[in-house]
Structure 1
Amino acid sequence: MPRILVIYKREDDPRKNTSIKMVRKGLAERVRPGSVRRGVVLDPFSKDVLGAWLRGEVEAGGVVVVDASWKKLHPDVFRGIRGIHVKLPPLLAANPVNYGKPCVLSSVEAVAAALYITGFKEDYVKLLGLFKWMHTFHELNKELLEEYSRASTPAELGKVVVEYWGVNPC
């Protein structure tokens, strides 16, 4: 499994936090922003999008997720984090807080999607078992995830987004 690095901002209940559960289960490691040297940083403010073409970067440096409240999230949170900053293509949330909303994923949903899209499908399946609702995430997004994972360029991925969503909802 590629490394999963969590920058935890302590903005919600740690007992319900998806990134902390990934850490507790040994699937991720908690790090400080300045300690990240490389990898793919999931950054919803980025102009660039995650795609299969970043598999080598994920393999070499891992996936970095910033666990912060969507209500408090600001681009400044991502400053100083080294790596390739990308946003995920649109997906539907299945977590109990944001169920059915496009682009408002929990940390575990975002990391799982990043792994699937970049070709780490077996590792994606490991994350599905962490929460009951992750199987719903899979059902809601399986066709999109597969289409996104087949796109070999940002232009191809953009076409998939337009075909499915019309206008990017993120």
Structure 2
Amino acid sequence: MDLHVRYEGDDDPKKCTAKKLERFEMATLHGTDRATPYGVVLNPHAERALSPADKDTGALVALDCSWESAEEAMFSLPGEHRALPYLVAANPVNFGRPMQLTTVEALAAALVIFGEKPHAEEILSKFNWGHTFLELNEEPLRRYSECENSTEVVEVQREYLERGE
């Protein structure tokens, strides 16, 4: 699956996971909405959860911007907008915080949910903490990937939220 990033350039380029993916030719960065291809857009404000049913929608698209500017209006990209379900960050800045994922973590999570775990492992291998993301989220990612649709993903997510994990 082709990985694309609508790149805002808000954060330090040396710490930017999207820029690193671009350097290794693992993702294509786009400076405008218009240049960004149609596909599944990872959007924390989306009304539907990402599920394996979304796999064949086209490219996988993430928005790379600072969390401070990640407002709903920022997600004007064309495509099928989907929210990632409950997951915990492994990156050094937000380690252990739920839903505070870097761009590479978000893309990797989507790939695992789509049944493309080797691709997820490949992109995470460029970060010394990358394997930790998959370890921390092993059970929920496995369960989400076994769901048929968004409704089932939300049911699984609800279990994690109720347990406070």
Range class of TM-score, shorter chain: over 0.9
Letter in 2 for 1:34: R
Pairwise mapping of residues 131-142 of structure 1 onto structure 2 (< 5 A)? Answer: 131-142=127-138
**Matches of 1:167 and 1:47, distance apart in 2:** 22
**Matches of 1:105 and 1:167, distance apart in 2:** 20
Letter in 2 for 1:23: E
**Aligned positions, number:** 164
Structure 1: 5+ residue stretches without partners: none
**Matches of 1:128 and 1:37, distance apart in 2:** 23
C-alpha displacement at 1:37, in angstroms?
3.9
**Matches of 1:30 and 1:155, distance apart in 2:** 31
Structure 2: 5+ residue stretches without partners: none
**Matches of 1:155 and 1:74, distance apart in 2:** 24
In structure 2, the partner of 1:108 is 104
TM-score, length of structure 2 as denominator length: 0.94
In structure 1, the partner of 2:52 is 52
Query: What do the CA deviations read for 1:31-68 (whole angstroms, capped 9, x no partner)?
Result: 121123411001111111100111111xxx21111100
Pairwise mapping of residues 66-105 of structure 1 onto structure 2 (< 5 A)? Answer: 66-79=63-76, 81-105=77-101
The answer to whether the 8 A contact 1:6-1:29 is kept is: yes
Check if 1:152 corresponds to 2:151.
no
Query: What do the CA deviations read for 1:97-149 (whole angstroms, capped 9, x no partner)?
Result: 11100011000000000011011122111012010111111110011100000
In structure 2, the partner of 1:62 is 59
Letter in 2 for 1:135: H
Q: Which stretches of structure 1, 4 residues or longer, exceed 4 Å deviation after superposition?
A: none
